[in-house]
Amino acid sequence: MAVATVFETHSLTTDNEAGLATGWLDGRLSERGRVLAAELGRRRRNDGISTVFTSDLGRAVQTVAVAFDGSGISVHLDARLRECDYGAWNGMPVSHLERERAQRISRPFPDGESYLQVVDRVAEFLEELARDRDRARVLVVGHSATRWALDHLLAGAALHDLVVAPFAWQEGWSYALPAGWRRPGPGGRPGYPWELDRRSLWRNATTRGHRRGHAPGRWW
């Protein structure tokens, strides 16, 4: 069997409209973003969704609150679904980020993390989801890097190709997560750094700071 997994991006933010890459900063929805979040709710409230899992960053939490308030659908916040941590560069111009993305597959942003580290924490989330939610239909709300990790892990897409591709928004992405799914072992994904200690990577990322203060286009 499988977990029917639907992914939606957080809604449009003021940073998106200003051309800023929010990263691990919370961000907030713009007026247009609130309208789009309400549309997401109308699209998914009666879609058979049993549970919503969302990034714990403010813009994602706000998206879910607007979309599902009063619906009775359970919501779980999970830090593993966050955007990539750009570290000292959280809040940088998107134009700067676009020049850096391809260089940050395995090399972390300054005082931040790499895209492979995002893949690693999303893989840990998926393992738990596959273990605990067989036959359920769930919604995951996250960020660009969250979706790239899903495409890489569940659809076999090359991570480099994902991070450099032009963004094309759509009304959700669907994945079938096999029951009992486990991330591929050594040799399963060329270039994946299996020699790294995944728990220390995530611990180091989170202990740098739960929040560092307080991106249609690409929604970071």
pTM, rounded to two decimals? 0.84
Which tens digit of pLDDT belongs to each residue from 136-160? Answer: 999 999 999 999 999 999 999 999 9
Confidence band (pLDDT; 50, 70, 90) for 167? Answer: confident
Asked whether the predicted pLDDT for residue 112 surpasses 60, the reply is: yes
Residue, of 77 and 186, whose pLDDT is higher = 77
According to the 3-state scheme, what is the secondary structure of the chain?
A: CEEEEEEEECCCEHHHHHCEECCCCCCCECHHHHHHHHHHHHHHCCCCCCEEEECCCHHHHHHHHHHHCCCCCEEEECHHHCCCCCHHHCCEEHHHHHHHHHHHCCCCCCCCCCHHHHHHHHHHHHHHHHHHCCCCEEEEEECHHHHHHHHHHHHCCCHHHHHHCCCCCCCCEEEEEECCCCCCCCCCCCCCCCCCCHHHHHHHHHHCCCCCCCCCCCCC
- Please tell me the predicted confidence (pLDDT) of residue 186: 57
Residues 67-90 have a mean pLDDT of 97
